[in-house]
Structure 1
Amino acid sequence: MEFSLALLLALATVPFQPGGGQSLHVDPPEPEVAVARGTSLQVTCSLSCDEDIARVQWRGLDTDLGNVQTLPGSSILSIHGMLTDTGTRTCVGSCGTRTLQHRTMILVYAFPDQLVVSPETLAPGQDREVEVSCTAHNISGPDRLSFALLLGNQTLEGVRAQEPELEEETQEAEGLPLFRMTQRWLLPSLETPPPPALYCQVTMQLFNLTLTHKMELPASVITLWIGSLVLGLLALAFLAYRLWKRYPPSPHPDTSSCTLL
């Protein structure tokens, strides 16, 4: 009884290959494929059949199918990088009485290198927080986007991030909008020397693909921190000078009250 149970469990872990080991060959093989807007992609599906010529055909599920070239034993799906190309396609292949399927999710994304940081100039104001912002333009899928304020390669500590702002930017020819997304941070007053460089980094996560863009914050923000530090040092020097003028040190210390033991 235990041997039979072990045999059944072992068989259950063996992948099932319908059709005597035959399977559809899809290139690229990933079940989810991200395609940059405006770029082309061909997805080829093929099937070998010992009994007869295999019949292979791409079919659309929740979107228009697109351009398909069907050949004996294979079918080629062409994607032209339009936002409306996003959706699931199914390759169906048959060999004799056996039918096989393979689904591919196509995601067309827009993530151009269009980052804008602000402000370009700042008036001196070391007693208040400094607001900086970063905007990503002409993007799709804003729910896949995240922002970070970096000091070198590490997230800057001690800043307050505001809620991201999302606005529709343009209406594409295929009827789907692109967006711009803005993230704002409030930087606290710094009592230490300023960092050498700050960066806004925008990240888009697409299946197993991670895209990032980075832009340095304008030097004026760093200059403001440097100016605040210099002004603070000058104020301390001026205060020390005024105290020195009001209470000058005695040229000869008074030792008359000292008693030699």
Structure 2
Amino acid sequence: MKKAALALPLYLLFLTHRSYLFLLQGQGSWGEPREGESPLRVEPKQPVVQAGGSIQLRCSLVCPQKEATVQWKGLDTSLGHVSSGPGLSVLTIPEATLSMAGSKVCTSTCQGSTYQNRVELTVYAFPDKVEVSPSTLAPGEGATLVCSAREVFPFDRLTFTWYRGNEKLGGLQSLDRDMGPEQEAETGEEVYWVTERWALPEELVTPGPELRCLVEMKLEQQVITHSRAVAVISRMPSSPEPSTALPTQTTVGLALPSSEVSTVTGHSSSIPDTTVSSLSLGPGSSLSPTSKPSSGSPCLPKIFPSRVPGINEGALELTCQADCEPGASVHWIQAPGRLADYQRQEAGAQATLILMHPGPWNRGSYTCQLEPGGQRDSYYLDKPILPDVDNSDNSAALWTGGCMLGLILVTCVSYRLWKWLRAEDSASAQNLGAQL
């Protein structure tokens, strides 16, 4: 019994000694790279930050017996703040801009060896500026669906998908996809607008869940989404039913024609649950802005394009109008480029946007908003309305005309000079004959 009691402490002491030796051996190997790997660690490995956001990049190295020197290289001091210490260097970017994206390099020295590691910093811009057109749909009527995302970067990471409620909408025919550069409203950096269009068959326009355009931006391990919805308007039958003892009551239910959802998810994305938007109108009701809405009817803005007579032959005018109760007003909130570059006339429930020289740069989505209420309407100017204007044709015509005019002038001058030289030669010949 005594031998067993004595053997147990000796066995525990043996295990403790072995564990201590193992820890010492492991500590001696810390910081040493595995074969084919750099001991320099950079975290996070795939850094992603939104424009205007902040991020920290940490670079570290454990060097046995000596303190490692770690520092970030090739960085402009204005791009961020670098704080370095023994074995660690932290790059802090308090307010990221799109120009800061790219490769970031960290270097370190340990026991006479130099190590280097780098990461690719991704800076993205994806504000909640998604617009859809038309703002409402009528059952049984086909339409062209337009979904646009403004001020985005990088534009090649965007995908557009239409849903009916929470189910993906099939049967759409993709028409085209267009994009172009624009300036970010606050910083002035170059970003992009992206617009995609689809043909919606009439058989797909049915009462029920709203149609929603989901725009996704996939970045490394993140998926950022924004969405907008199109309300489906359902009309009651126009044939009146026989009267009964109970009075007939018409119910008008209204949801906003455009709802906003913004989510940031991980590897997978999902469509958030939203309330079905539908509008029930009684017989003879209309959403035309030229007629005053009846009591309880929705007050929605509507955009109408028209040519401007007497100002400029090619000028285009967009009018946003909402026939509502007194006190309502509409104003423009979005246009390709900057709103300050357009002529605007806003008075009460009517706002006008004038395009003096419309061209390809004016293609895109135009949006006006009603206050109070926040209801919006969007109008998309496409290629048939704004044809391509190729100034090179005009330049070529001017150049050709100038060349022809120059050739005529040279011919006239040459002819006159030839006649003058001929007359001089004749006079010289006559003088020479007379002298002989």
TM-score (norm. length: structure 2)? 0.42
Distance 1:125 1:210 in 2: 33
Q: Is 1:154 matched up with 2:170?
A: no
Selected match of 1:43 from 57, 60, 65 = 57
Distance 2:133 2:70 in 1: 54
Q: Which residue of 1 aligns with 2:105?
A: 90
Amino acid of the residue matched to residue 180 of structure 1? W
Selected match of 1:26 from 25, 42, 53 = 42
Q: Is 1:107 matched up with 2:126?
A: no
Q: Which residue of 1 aligns with 2:398?
A: none
**For 1:191-206, what aligned pairs fall within 5 Å after superposition?**
193-206=206-219
- Do 2:139 and 2:205's aligned partners in 1 also have CA atoms closer than 8 Å? no
Sort the Cα spacing of 1:65 and 1:49 in 2 relative to 1 into closer, same or farther, 3 A. farther
Question: Displacement of 1:71 after TM fit?
Answer: 2.0
Amino acid of the residue matched to residue 105 of structure 2? T
- Do 1:84 and 1:174's aligned partners in 2 also have CA atoms closer than 8 Å? no
Q: Deviations over 1:220-245 (max 9, x none)?
A: xx11xx34x958xx7xxxxxxxxxxx
Amino acid of the residue matched to residue 161 of structure 1? S
Selected match of 1:74 from 69, 73, 88 = 88
Sort the Cα spacing of 1:78 and 1:153 in 2 relative to 1 into closer, same or farther, 3 A. same
- Do 1:91 and 1:101's aligned partners in 2 also have CA atoms closer than 8 Å? yes
Aligned residues: 206
Query: Cα RMSD over matched residues?
Result: 3.1
Question: Displacement of 1:199 after TM fit?
Answer: 0.5
- SS of residue paired to 1:190: helix
- Do 1:22 and 1:48's aligned partners in 2 also have CA atoms closer than 8 Å? no
Amino acid of the residue matched to residue 40 of structure 2? L
**For 1:2-13, what aligned pairs fall within 5 Å after superposition?**
none
Distance 1:41 1:208 in 2: 16
Question: Displacement of 1:65 after TM fit?
Answer: 6.3
Sort the Cα spacing of 1:191 and 1:94 in 2 relative to 1 into closer, same or farther, 3 A. closer
Q: Which residue of 1 aligns with 2:33?
A: 17
- Do 2:38 and 2:117's aligned partners in 1 also have CA atoms closer than 8 Å? no
Question: Displacement of 1:150 after TM fit?
Answer: 0.8
Amino acid of the residue matched to residue 114 of structure 2? T
Calculate percent identity across the aligned residue pairs.
Answer: 34
Amino acid of the residue matched to residue 25 of structure 1? R
Question: Displacement of 1:184 after TM fit?
Answer: 1.5
Q: Is 1:183 matched up with 2:199?
A: no
Sort the Cα spacing of 1:23 and 1:187 in 2 relative to 1 into closer, same or farther, 3 A. same
Distance 1:93 1:183 in 2: 48
Amino acid of the residue matched to residue 72 of structure 2? W
Q: Which residue of 1 aligns with 2:311?
A: none
Amino acid of the residue matched to residue 45 of structure 1? C
Distance 1:171 1:192 in 2: 36
Q: Deviations over 1:42-100 (max 9, x none)?
A: 11112222232211011238xx8643222232111122311011001121111112222
Question: Displacement of 1:175 after TM fit?
Answer: 6.7
Further displaced range: 187-196 or 77-86:
187-196
Which 4+ residue blocks in structure 1 deviate beyond 6 angstroms?
172-175
Selected match of 2:146 from 133, 152, 157 = 133
- SS of residue paired to 2:203: coil
- Do 1:82 and 1:108's aligned partners in 2 also have CA atoms closer than 8 Å? yes
Q: Which residue of 1 aligns with 2:344?
A: none
Question: Displacement of 1:174 after TM fit?
Answer: 6.9
Sort the Cα spacing of 1:169 and 1:121 in 2 relative to 1 into closer, same or farther, 3 A. same
Question: Displacement of 1:180 after TM fit?
Answer: 1.4
Q: Deviations over 1:101-140 (max 9, x none)?
A: 2211101000111111122356x795x6311211111111
Structure 1: gaps spanning 5 or more residues? 1-15, 235-261
- Do 2:42 and 2:118's aligned partners in 1 also have CA atoms closer than 8 Å? no
Sort the Cα spacing of 1:88 and 1:191 in 2 relative to 1 into closer, same or farther, 3 A. closer
Whose Rg is larger?
Answer: 2
Higher relative contact order (CA 8 A, sep 6+): 1
Sort the Cα spacing of 1:53 and 1:160 in 2 relative to 1 into closer, same or farther, 3 A. same
Distance 2:127 2:176 in 1: 22
Q: Which residue of 2 aligns with 1:116?
A: 131
Q: Which residue of 2 aligns with 1:243?
A: none
